[in-house]
Structure 1
């Protein structure tokens, strides 16, 4: 679930970058509504998905995506940081 919520959140921020500024008031509720769940469950599932990726060493994939070392194993981003990072990368790649 967390991966689906995360993917949806990134897509929503790519479509409207202002949503990243109100992640708990706009983004999580919108994702929750789409999936028939609560904002707090969305937040927790996204946090868990990011945590699992970090614990399994998938940080290298993220660093490779950006061509530089953005994070280390000890530097897990917040949900908002992660969503903003990926959304910004996607927007920059479009131009």
Structure 2
């Protein structure tokens, strides 16, 4: 699951408009993998998550926090509005999330994708703002292996249960 999850996180960040050349991009991916492994890390972001990311990348936790904050800020200012609305319930008046809120929303969204919980999130292929077909969402779902709105992950290695 780690490789699939890493791909999903990377594609989601790409669709949100994050630049993969920013150091914080890799920190977010690694941090999300740690959170997917142990969700309690969301509540220990400064004491655990930043420290573990810093150890892995041989840097300080302050640099980790700053670089993640830079990516979150860039996404919030110039990212994919449709996807921001779906994942973060962003309205034009809402301020950008803290790093902790950002990780929590990504975790909840990705967990819902992988578990197929369509009641918690509506996974439309239409923009919630313009009500038009959303190419970004369609591409994102296809790239992470979701082929229909029921959001069941397709896994070529999973046993056939039909």
Note whether the superposition's TM-score is higher than 0.5.
yes
2:91 corresponds in structure 1 to 72
Give ranges in structure 1 of 5+ residues lacking alignment.
none
The range that moved more, 17-26 or 84-93, is 84-93
Which runs of 4 or more aligned residues in structure 1 lie more than 3 Å from their structure 2 counterparts after TM superposition? none
Contact kept in structure 2, 1:10 and 1:84, CA below 8 Å: no
Q: CA RMSD in A?
A: 1.6
Distance 1:38 1:55, change over 3 A: same
Offset of residue 9 of structure 1: 1.0
- Unpaired runs of 5+ in structure 2? 1-22, 116-162
* Superposition TM-score, scaled by structure 2 size: 0.52
Under a length normalisation based on structure 1, what TM-score does the superposition of the two structures give?
0.86
* Alignment correspondent of 2:40: 18
Between Structure 1 and Structure 2, whose CA radius of gyration is higher?
2
Match of 2:3 in 1: none
Q: RCO higher in 1 or 2 (8 Å CA, sep ≥ 6)? A: 1
Choose the corresponding residue for 1:90, options 110, 124, 139: 110
Q: How many residues align?
A: 92
Could you tell me how far 1:72 is from its partner in structure 2? 2.8
- Per-residue displacement from partner, 1:39-66 (whole Å, max 9, x unpaired)? 00000000000001112143433224x4
